[in-house]
Structure 1
Amino acid sequence: MEPITRKSELPFLEMVRTPQTGRSLLRPTGSDEMHDLLCVGFGPASLAIGIALNDAMDPALGSKANFKPKVTFLEKQNQFAWHSGMLVPGSRMQISFMKDLATMRDPRSSFTFLNYLHHKNRLIHFTNLGTFLPARMEFEDYMRWCANRFENVVNYGEEVVEVVPGQTDAGGVVDYFTVVSRNTGTGEISSRNARKVVIAIGGKAKMPPGFPNDPRIMHSSKYCTTLPQMLNDDMAPYNIAVVGSGQSAAEIYHDLHRRYPNSRTTLILRDTALRPSDDSPFVNEIFNPERVDKFYEMSAEERKRRIAIEKATNYSVVRLELIEAIYNDMYLQRVENPDETTWQQRILSESKVARIEHHNPSSRMRIHVKSVKNESEKEVLDVDALMVATGYLRDAHEEMLDNVRGLQPAGAAGWNPGRDYRVSLDANKVAADAGIWLQGCNEKTHGLSDSLLSVLAVRGGEIVNSVFADQLAGVVQDTRVRAML
């Protein structure tokens, strides 16, 4: 194999590679200590924050910061995982690898995707692929590679149940918060105190109202992890239905025939057809980090209108190459047999699930499907499983912060995040050096990119600058300037 590097390049590359064999610059904090920052959740959003904080402390990146923040991350999963239920074989990322967890903030970081490839000895091989879109499986491995450096500051298997105000000072002002968590293995309850808390818990599965609670009816997030355990005979003639019209629904529907070649699969969607996502260059600029500034400055009415206009970039749309692959499969069936009702793979457009009848586990469920335009048009499907790809709810913070509502400003209608994602709290009730930040649930105020990977690198830097403004004043370069490097 030809050499990847010249000798003259080795000193620089060794400087980048060497830290990857050890821990991050963050150090463990005892549960009984007052934390400077406690992050609820350790998915990509919190990981990006950890990376940005590490880089802000890294002398190799020119940092002169001389502080050792007491930071802990709490994660309910037992290990780092990113959409493990949707690591569909052959699926690719929908964004460039350049939008990793560091590059857009500071390409010199040792946490870039390119450095990951270099560390794994795959840089030249990836280059030969001629693509900006890695396999989803590889990008998840990249993020796990980054997360491994933070294992000493992450408590896995800890599900946060609530955040409550800490004790007040002599003036009756809250100057810290108590984060209460439950160990998912033992059920033991723990409490940790922190001046500042970031909540980044991601979305929870959104199921259509009226769907029964049956293990054979599962959200798309369980496709690769739960369905194969339940339908464990790859060659069995299963009947499987999929509900949804977005990327996840299309990926599952397309993969089912590969996973179960003798199965009959049906895709049920309300729209007239699968629609392509718009990821053309000018439209894709709505995911640029600087666009968050413009969106945040809009009125609530204008934000709502803008999201409706730009919805086709992210919701209920599918990448064109996948649509074409599905259409090709349908066409080949048409060549063999013009009678669609006999096909192994079918699409019922302009349709909805009207009712699901329960049967005992030894028999199939019965799904009643109706036309959304003419309910007299009906079809009955007997299925072994129903996959539901109807997205996620991003409101789990509401219950978690229920005991903090009394600290909101008078007349506040909800959690109002500032441009720096810090929620508005009454200055007469909460000390200036205490606060709460929200991540991944601010689409209405920060735009469509809020729950996506595109802005994580830059946003991680913004959060670090906001949380540690005093400690990093004059030390860390502005993240928006770094993003232009």
Structure 2
Amino acid sequence: MAPSAISTPTDELSSFHSNGVSSLNGQLSNMHLNGHAPLSTSPSETLDLLCIGFGPASLAIAIALHDTLPKTSPSPSVLFLEKQPQFAWHAGMQLPGAKMQISFLKDLATPRDPRSKFTFINYLFSQGRLNQFINLSTFLPSRAEYEDYLCWCAGHFEREGKVAYGMDVCGVKVGTTNAEGRATSWEVTARSTSSGELVTRRAKHVVVAVGGRPVIPQIMQGLKHVAHSSQFANTITRIEEAVKDSIRPLRFAVVGSGQSAAEIFNDLWERFPDSNVRLIIKGASLRPSDDSPFVNEIFDPDRVDGIYSQDPTLRASALALDRGTNYGVVRLTLLEHLYEKLYMQRLRSSNPSQWRANILTNRQVLSASQSKDSSVKLRLGEVQQNAAGVQESGEEEELEVDYVFTATGYKRNAHEEILSELTKLLPSDSNSKFGVKRDYSVVFDGTKVDESAGVWLQGCNEGTHGLSDTLLSILAIRGGELVNSIFGNRSGSESEATSIGSSSPP
């Protein structure tokens, strides 16, 4: 899935409905992408596959295509359109010392085929760091190294000319139809982020893998000095530059109780030694993530079949229980680190109001406003539960800070805008919702869409496919499933189609 979601403003959707398509269509096949090879496909051809977004989810599909399709047959024509100017993965949360939360063995290839040259192990070997990594005795590499691994994989497909960066997809509509009036291809329209011009490409199969849209609570939207955790790394760099000559201690508030919130709280505390940092959480305490072996089986790829086949009501209840393993929880090592730092403050003062850093528990932000000096005033309410278990606010207090970071999650509904033109092709009982089959393909009305064309959704199917849908854990297997679903009998057997890990980089 892509690290940042595509947001499609109304004016871009309006442009999509127009017939004016720029000369970029001709330029797209000839332009060089960040110093890599020009695109290998022509704007006039109908692609076999077009992927919207080039994050880990689409990258896993590209790798599965490389590994599983027979090398003796013609390669399918494939193109990936990505909004970002270059490959990046959670760039806003690349913090010093940040570690992965899953084993490196759950990379983009190993669970599907350990012999693939796109494994994390082969990446280490090709970079000359395998033995040194072994000496670390860890399954959890740094987040920076894992992003470098992903960039290393992406480079193979960039050099093949299969990736176009700086392309913000506006929408998808029917491209061609057969004699029966069924759609046989799709027309994808994108806007160049550098020139603003429109580009169209046609494809038989489309995959939408655009990631999540950062969510800032409505009461804080539009305020200066309020940013989402996904933009933390870039924002904090600008803050450091802006205040480098200031002698006044900064005041920060972090809203959220999950891993990102805890990491930002810790980073601000260390980055600005004289600052005041407050972490605002609704619960009574930060809670540890459960990564014990039995619980980790929730994220196993073979669990998806059972989850998808469950009764929807039972599945929703099971997902609600599973959410505690991934949402609003923090890795135990970080919790212990923070607790020790908070404890050390007690040596200097027993009064929490005099501490530089504090966790404000059982609090929620009731309102937010901008002061004349651009600081942010937060009105906090104490979170209580009445006899019926309904949450309500108790005592209130005001907190004024210079900057606010919200680690308040993501919405995964960008596909609804991108595919809005296709709602007329859905079954009459769909309520304009894009339902998906087990293979992640959108359920269309069979009288309106031919079986030779289809649309697949990635990273927005947690409600039907389980908690792992938005995570890295199943990408290798899922990428192979999509390749098989789209290309079917064109896939060779694993023994014929896969290549042994090479000592040279892809």
1:227 aligns with 2:239: no
Distance in 1, matches of 2:203 and 2:489, equals 17
**In the alignment, which residue of structure 2 is the partner of 1:191?**
200
Question: Contact (CA 8 Å) 2:224, 2:370: kept in 1 or not?
Answer: no
**In the alignment, which residue of structure 1 is the partner of 2:418?**
400
Distance in 1, matches of 2:393 and 2:319, equals 31
The TM-score with structure 1 as length reference comes to 0.90
**In the alignment, which residue of structure 2 is the partner of 1:19?**
none
1:127 aligns with 2:138: no
1:212 aligns with 2:210: no
Change (3 A) 1:476 1:433: farther
Distance in 2, matches of 1:376 and 1:168, equals 61
Equivalent residue letter for 2:237: P
1:449 aligns with 2:468: yes
**In the alignment, which residue of structure 2 is the partner of 1:163?**
172
May I ask how many residue pairs the two structures share in their alignment?
A: 451
**In the alignment, which residue of structure 2 is the partner of 1:267?**
279
1:139 aligns with 2:146: yes
Question: Contact (CA 8 Å) 2:225, 2:374: kept in 1 or not?
Answer: no
**In the alignment, which residue of structure 1 is the partner of 2:8?**
none
CA deviation map 1:286-311 (0-9, x unaligned)? 11110011111101111101111111
CA deviation map 1:200-248 (0-9, x unaligned)? 0000101112223023100000111122203424675110000000000
1:390 aligns with 2:408: yes
Cα drift, residue 150 of structure 1: 0.9
CA deviation map 1:360-393 (0-9, x unaligned)? 3x44222121211274522222211000000110
- 1:16-27 to structure 2, matched below 5 A, reads none
Equivalent residue letter for 2:190: S
Cα drift, residue 478 of structure 1: 12
Distance in 1, matches of 2:457 and 2:80, equals 14
Question: Contact (CA 8 Å) 1:161, 1:180: kept in 2 or not?
Answer: yes
Change (3 A) 1:341 1:478: farther
Q: Secondary structure of the residue that 1:469 maps to in structure 2? A: helix
- 1:4-19 to structure 2, matched below 5 A, reads none
Distance in 1, matches of 2:123 and 2:463, equals 34
**In the alignment, which residue of structure 1 is the partner of 2:377?**
366
**In the alignment, which residue of structure 1 is the partner of 2:95?**
88
Cα drift, residue 64 of structure 1: 5.5
Question: Contact (CA 8 Å) 2:383, 2:394: kept in 1 or not?
Answer: no
**In the alignment, which residue of structure 1 is the partner of 2:429?**
411
Unaligned runs of 5+ in 2: 1-35, 385-391, 498-506
1:344 aligns with 2:356: yes
Q: Secondary structure of the residue that 2:233 maps to in structure 1? A: coil
1:249 aligns with 2:261: yes
The TM-score with structure 2 as length reference comes to 0.86
Cα drift, residue 106 of structure 1: 0.2
Equivalent residue letter for 2:419: L
**In the alignment, which residue of structure 2 is the partner of 1:332?**
344
Change (3 A) 1:291 1:478: farther
**Farther off after superposition, 323-332 or 240-249:** 323-332
Q: Secondary structure of the residue that 1:336 maps to in structure 2? A: coil
Distance in 2, matches of 1:477 and 1:164, equals 38
Whose RCO is larger (CA < 8 A, sep 6+)?
Answer: 2
**In the alignment, which residue of structure 2 is the partner of 1:302?**
314
Change (3 A) 1:65 1:309: farther
Pairing partner for 1:288 from 300, 320, 323: 300
Distance in 2, matches of 1:167 and 1:115, equals 42
Q: Where has structure 1 moved over 3 Å in runs of 4 or more?
A: 233-236, 474-479
Unaligned runs of 5+ in 1: 1-22, 58-62, 480-485
Question: Contact (CA 8 Å) 2:111, 2:476: kept in 1 or not?
Answer: yes
Cα drift, residue 416 of structure 1: 1.3
Question: Contact (CA 8 Å) 1:238, 1:262: kept in 2 or not?
Answer: yes
Distance in 2, matches of 1:317 and 1:458, equals 26
Equivalent residue letter for 2:58: S
Distance in 2, matches of 1:170 and 1:206, equals 45
Distance in 1, matches of 2:193 and 2:444, equals 31
**Farther off after superposition, 314-323 or 367-376:** 367-376
Distance in 1, matches of 2:395 and 2:259, equals 27
Change (3 A) 1:477 1:290: farther
Distance in 2, matches of 1:297 and 1:477, equals 31
Change (3 A) 1:184 1:350: same
Let me know the Cα RMSD of the aligned residues. Answer: 2.0
Pairing partner for 1:354 from 345, 354, 366: 366
